[in-house]
Structure 1
Amino acid sequence: MPGKSPTVEVSPALIRWARESVGATIDEVAAKLKTPAATILKWEAGEQPPTLRSLEALALFCKRPVAAFFLPAPPPEPCLPHDFRSVPGKQAVPLSRKTRIVIRRAIRLQRLASELLQETGADASPLTQYSTSSNTEDAARAERERLGVTLDQQTGWRNCREAFRAWRSAVERFNIFVFRFPMPPAETRGFSLAAGEPYVIVVSSSDAMPAQIFTLFHEYAHLLLRHGGICLPEEETRTQVLSVESFCNRFAGDFLVPRESLLQHLHACGCPEPAGLTDSEVKAAAWRFKVSKYVLWRRLAETVSIPDHLYWDRVKRWLAEPAPQRKGGKALSPARRSLRQRGRKFSSLVFEAQSRRLITFRDALDYLGVRPQDTSEAEALLRGIASGD
């Protein structure tokens, strides 16, 4: 039987800092560590030291190295991005430990990307700045031209997964890093970091692919405004007060479903009365543009005259339908998961820095989030052998 774990003297302030940094309550920590809440309270009050085993479990729960608990004082925490999720009459769900850890990880990846760009001498790619008073159609048209993706390319993609990969690649060509991490959909669909360069977009991989595409360009609009934040884009919303969120929703819709292209599609399909389109016809149009049916229906409402009651009746009926079950894919290897989460832009930058001996191989493993026991596959990843998505 293993012996009793020794106690360790650590600052109570550091224990409290680690817990609060992930937004966890005393009861949540107690449940995870299978330790009485009263004991956790004693640790934080300095009345009882934790055992080494308990400290290791707490470090794992808070995603902190054990060494962090022996710092002289709690380190400063980076500020969370601005929270845009609250709307009149609807209170935002508190951010969970999982989402807070993703935000912390993204901020770290942004810092690492900044250092790597400087080390490798990569040129900056300036991004046009807009304001909420800017015309979203004009902005969307200009940004589509800048990204260099034609409508023929967009409608030619086989599915939304291929569309997301292509859009992500187009955005990342301008040194904007797009990360994908799982986050509870009820909390957030994505967020953006615009306080410093390089700019970062994080999309929730827990969402459906059409929603991820919409979120990508909703957050891209946040970068155009230089006003990053945590978002829960409401794809079914039709009218909103003039605000950052309404601008970003309108921009994403204008970008993904250009007005003239939608009108051409309606004409080609012989749809004289768009309000009378069947659900199947709306879904077919949505598939053509690689967006959700909510986005397509809203773009129809914005482009042609659809009475409010008809618009909302359909939206409410869709929302009342059971959500489709997402198909579970095969388990990904750590290296392939890293590529999907961090993207080819970040991964190739790490590979370049490591090949030029600007960082060590151990650094590269750390930056890519690959475990040491996966060294052989990590080497394949760093040499560009792994194919990514």
Structure 2
Amino acid sequence: MSSSQRIPVAAGLLEWARRTAGFDKTLAAKRLAVKEERLSAWESGELQPTINQLRNMAKLYKRPLAVLLLPAPPKEFDALRDFRRTGEPGDLSWSPALHAEYKRALSQREVLLELSELSPASVVSSNDMFRVNREINPEDAGTALRKFMGMDTWKSGTISNPRNALRAAVEAVESHGILVMQTRDVDISEMRGFSISAWPHPVIILNGSDWPRPKLFTLLHEMCHLALNAGGLCDLHESQAQRRSEDKVEHFCNRVAASALMPASRVMNDPVVRATTQWTLEGLLDASQRFGASSEAFLLRLVTLGLARWETYWRLKPQLDAHYARLRREEKEKQKSTPGGPPYFLIKARNLGRKYVESVLDAYHSRAISSYDVVDYLDIKYDQLTKLEEAVTR
């Protein structure tokens, strides 16, 4: 086939591919190095693209070329309608990076479903799932979630160490057949976490650029989403405005997560909490560490329990935001000054999900899948397999 040959494409299909990849027409045309008018003509069917132009679109939209040759746009789950994001009311736009991570989550879940048939022993499955409904008191739901994850059985000192607490929580969630992944390049202002409540093998994805303590809270928050069978994007902030109906689920999940991480009796009986009448940023930073929570989550917990006022929260929130922004700047500067940065394969294992990597590798070693399959499922080259395996066992 000549590279200059024009390829007929069904009307609406290219527009569907662009939209579901998270690109508006201006950005897509810029990335494709064409004028918007030409892109519009391709999408309407007025002008047929060449095979090279079609390949460029397939690459940009992260779709197989064959999909762009279908007779009509496929009918699929509309993420933009059914998922929420942390933006202004009514803002349902997603970045291309978030679209890509959402598709990756769906793809990895499909792999686990396939492995469940080809190599059942390689995949963790559990019928013991955590379930709640919004009629349950959030405090009781939080207690049940804490028990479900075995948080009271964690080694002493685990909860006060951010990284150890997060790892213990992720392992507890994964032990119930839930896929826990992390993002690669989604801005934290857009997404803290999201979940896909499809069974079996539901998915929780955390923002890899977030701090361990907020990640832990997000993980608990998304566990509540799964328990409600209501996956969505995670918004950990409270709104000063009257909540929309969909925000009630977010508020409920926040309260359940807070209850699981910071049990009411422990917070109310804490000596520092009992002795404090006026909270400061320094006081919050110190007290929150003992509960494994971020200072903002801890302050919101105090408000919920009647131990602090909303005025205190809104007074301290700018200081908290500035504190977190400074820590992120310092972390970036530290990474720049560190030769090589974080070990590539450790980050790779974290993003894919350690239990997912272990399942794929076990299926491969059991000869249930081929060498082609294992590199495809893990998105690596074959000669990198050993290094990834070493990283996931650390």
TM-score by length of 2: 0.85
CA shift, 1:16, in A, is: 2.3
Change (3 A) 1:104 1:67: same
Change (3 A) 1:356 1:234: same
Change (3 A) 1:279 1:149: same
Greater alpha carbon shift after TM alignment, 314-323 vs 45-54: 314-323
Question: In the alignment, what sits opposite 1:82?
Answer: 82
Residue 247 (structure 1) aligned with residue 257 (structure 2): no
Greater alpha carbon shift after TM alignment, 347-356 vs 231-240: 231-240
Question: In the alignment, what sits opposite 2:130?
Answer: 128
Question: In the alignment, what sits opposite 2:390?
Answer: 385
SS in structure 1 opposite 2:182? strand
Question: In the alignment, what sits opposite 2:358?
Answer: 348
CA shift, 1:157, in A, is: 5.1
Change (3 A) 1:290 1:322: closer
CA shift, 1:258, in A, is: 1.3
User: How many Å separate the matches in 2 of 1:254 and 1:124?
Assistant: 24
Question: In the alignment, what sits opposite 2:276?
Answer: 274
Question: In the alignment, what sits opposite 1:119?
Answer: 118
CA shift, 1:160, in A, is: 2.0
User: How many Å separate the matches in 2 of 1:106 and 1:387?
Assistant: 19
1:191–1:231 contact (8 Å) kept in structure 2? yes
User: How many Å separate the matches in 1 of 2:263 and 2:153?
Assistant: 9
Residue 339 (structure 1) aligned with residue 339 (structure 2): no
1:89-110 superposed Cα distances (whole Å, 9 cap, x missing partner): 8343521221112112211212
Question: In the alignment, what sits opposite 1:31?
Answer: 30
Greater alpha carbon shift after TM alignment, 174-183 vs 302-311: 302-311
- The letter for the 1-side match of 2:262 is V
User: How many Å separate the matches in 1 of 2:74 and 2:139?
Assistant: 44
Residue 323 (structure 1) aligned with residue 293 (structure 2): no
CA shift, 1:174, in A, is: 0.5
1:256-290 superposed Cα distances (whole Å, 9 cap, x missing partner): 111222234x32x4x54433233222101222222
Question: In the alignment, what sits opposite 1:53?
Answer: 52
- Equivalent pairs, count: 377
Question: In the alignment, what sits opposite 1:7?
Answer: 5
User: How many Å separate the matches in 2 of 1:200 and 1:235?
Assistant: 24
- The letter for the 1-side match of 2:129 is L
Change (3 A) 1:46 1:251: same
Change (3 A) 1:304 1:232: closer
- The letter for the 2-side match of 1:376 is D
CA shift, 1:224, in A, is: 1.1
1:235-314 equivalence runs, <5 A: 243-264=248-269, 266-267=270-271, 269=272, 271-314=273-316
User: How many Å separate the matches in 1 of 2:344 and 2:307?
Assistant: 50
Once superposed, what is the RMSD of the aligned Cα atoms? 2.9
1:100-179 equivalence runs, <5 A: 100-121=99-120, 122=123, 123-150=125-152, 153=155, 155-156=157-158, 159-179=161-181
Greater alpha carbon shift after TM alignment, 211-220 vs 156-165: 156-165
Q: 1:376 is matched with which residue: 380, 383, 387?
A: 383
Structure 1: state its 5+ residue gaps.
none
TM-score by length of 1: 0.86
Structure 2: state its 5+ residue gaps.
none
Change (3 A) 1:71 1:379: farther
Identity percentage over the alignment? 28
Change (3 A) 1:64 1:225: same
2:154–2:168 contact (8 Å) kept in structure 1? no
CA shift, 1:334, in A, is: 5.8
User: How many Å separate the matches in 2 of 1:321 and 1:9?
Assistant: 54
